[in-house]
């Protein structure tokens, strides 16, 4: 492996290739960290690692895209508190955000779970856009897990996803849900995944024949610090809503425990902002269930209505859409043959997900690449994606 020609502790003859896919969330955004329901699909935008296993615990990896390298000893990794002391004397955790931290975090999490990990020299290539909200980080983490384990012991996809989420939470200091890691680990070709983010129960849902998934990247850049701050604010607002509701209803442990009628009866307990955030989460969970029913029944008209309602809820109740996302969705809905369109992911830029009849895909692509720049001044990227199996050998 040319990137590390001095790898004296490597087995030159044993080079393998592992992969893990990105994901798109068809419906169910900002429900995952509220113990809710999501409907993601693993997509054919992959991260690959060419792996030469080592006889020791050293990991050395290079990215073909950025030229970044990371090098560490697995036994020396420490997830200890990172950051300065806070005003009350506690530690304010500073997230680790480097490219190599995702590889190191995965190694740390697998080691802490007493799994048989070994070092490797590796080169990473990826088709997952880094800032588009298509689970770039999860794909790198799951591919790294496959490289570190290298078939030593099979690990079930839900367990591997939970270990990747632990790497983000406890090593990287990033508080997110499990949807990205689960979809990348457990994806199946031709299927979406209905996932209960509390129990991790899941089932595969068939996607309609003759319809393509088309992901449109708005090309809008968001300030990472501002984006993270808004994300923390939304989580806090949901947490405050749960705390206030639990004073009257002790059985409420998360917004997942509410239905629309119960929230409406108790809305007076919340501020207007907290009520809007809770209303989005509660209604979005219901839309996920309804979307699965529509897919099972082949009811594409209902699916389009649910996508539209989801986008409007994210725009007005959760307030995480943007001018670019709204413009992209409006343009998509005007194209004949588009079944459904909505923003997907965290928001503030990122991507839309569109279900488009196969015959209409070329016209859809032309409409986006010609009309969207005129409306927004931004350059879009359009990905016609297939649904694929989860992480494993390439």
The pair phi, psi for residue 189, each rounded to 5°, is -60, 135
Known catalytic residue at 180 = yes
pLDDT at res. 91: 40
Q: Which residues on adjacent β-strands are paired with residue 339?
A: none
pLDDT tens string for the chain (394 positions)?
Answer: 545 545 445 555 589 999 999 999 999 999 999 999 999 999 999 999 999 999 899 999 999 988 889 999 999 999 765 443 333 344 445 677 688 999 999 999 999 999 999 999 999 999 998 888 899 999 999 999 999 997 666 789 999 999 999 999 999 988 888 999 999 999 999 999 999 999 999 999 999 999 999 999 999 976 767 777 888 899 999 999 999 999 999 999 999 999 999 999 999 999 999 999 999 999 999 999 999 999 999 999 999 999 999 999 999 999 999 999 999 999 999 999 999 999 998 888 889 999 999 999 999 999 999 999 999 999 999 999 999 999 999 8
What's the Cα-to-Cα distance from 184 to each of 116, 178, 269, 319, 390, rounded to whole Å? 21, 10, 39, 27, 5
pLDDT at res. 87: 39
32, 35, 46, 180: the active-site residue: 180
CA distance 227 to 106: 24
pLDDT at res. 347: 85
* Residue carrying structure tokens 């996508």: 307
* Alpha helices for 249-339 (secondary structure H): 260-265, 272-297, 300-316, 323-333
CA distance 146 to 73: 17
pLDDT at res. 13: 58
Structure tokens at 224: 């990472």
β-pair type (58-63, 69-73): antiparallel
Element housing 122 (H / E): strand 120-126
pLDDT at res. 94: 63
pLDDT at res. 11: 56
Contact by Cβ (8 Å): 96, 30: no
pLDDT at res. 297: 97
Q: Which residues on adjacent β-strands are paired with residue 43?
A: 22, 387
pLDDT at res. 171: 94
pTM of model > 0.75: yes
pLDDT at res. 89: 40
Domains and CATH numbers, the chain: 10-24+42-185 (3.30.230.10)
pLDDT at res. 6: 53
Q: How many CA atoms lie within 13 A of 136 on its CB side?
A: 17
For residue 54, give the DSSP letter: E
Q: Which of 97, 145, 138, 96 is nearest to 122 (CA)?
A: 145
pLDDT at res. 7: 47
């Amino acid at each position: 492996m040319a990137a590390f020609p001095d790898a004296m502790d490597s087995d030159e003859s044993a080079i393998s290739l592992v992969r893990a896919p990105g994901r798109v969330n068809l419906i169910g955004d900002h429900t995952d960290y509220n113990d809710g329901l999501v409907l993601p699909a693993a997509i054919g935008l992959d991260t690959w690692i060419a792996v030469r296993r080592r006889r020791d615990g050293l990991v050395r990896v290079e990215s073909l895209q950025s030229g970044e390298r990371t090098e560490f000893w697995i036994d020396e990794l420490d997830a200890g508190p990172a950051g300065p002391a806070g005003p009350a004397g506690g530690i304010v955790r500073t997230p680790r955000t480097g490219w190599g931290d995702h590889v190191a975090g995965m190694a740390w999490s697998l080691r802490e779970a007493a799994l048989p990990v070994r070092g490797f020299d590796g080169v990473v290539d990826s088709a997952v856009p880094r800032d588009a909200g298509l689970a770039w980080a999860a794909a790198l983490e799951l591919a790294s897990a496959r490289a570190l384990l290298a078939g030593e012991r099979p690990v079930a996809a839900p367990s591997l996803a939970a270990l990747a989420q632990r790497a983000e939470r406890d090593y990287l200091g990033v508080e997110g849900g499990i949807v990205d890691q689960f979809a990348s680990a457990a994806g199946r070709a031709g299927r979406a995944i209905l996932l209960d983010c509390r129990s991790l129960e899941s089932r595969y849902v068939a996607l309609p024949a003759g319809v393509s998934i088309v992901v449109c990247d708005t090309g809008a850049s968001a300030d990472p610090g501002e984006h993270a701050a808004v994300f923390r604010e939304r989580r806090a607002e949901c947490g405050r809503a749960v705390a206030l509701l639990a004073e009257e209803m002790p059985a409420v442990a998360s917004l997942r425990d509410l239905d629309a009628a119960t929230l409406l009866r108790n809305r007076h307990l919340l501020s207007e902002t907290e009520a809007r955030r809770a209303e989005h989460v509660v209604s979005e969970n219901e839309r996920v269930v309804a979307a699965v029913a529509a897919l099972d029944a082949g009811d594409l008209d209902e699916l389009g209505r649910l996508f539209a309602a989801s986008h409007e809820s994210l725009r007005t109740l959760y307030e995480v859409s943007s001018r670019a996302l709204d413009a992209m969705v409006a343009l998509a809905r005007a194209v004949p043959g588009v079944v459904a369109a909505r923003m997907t992911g965290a928001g503030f830029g990122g991507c839309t997900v569109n279900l488009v009849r196969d015959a209409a895909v070329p016209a859809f692509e032309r409409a986006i690449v010609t009309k969207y720049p005129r409306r927004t001044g931004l350059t879009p990227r359009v990905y016609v994606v297939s649904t694929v199996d989860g992480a494993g050998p390439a």
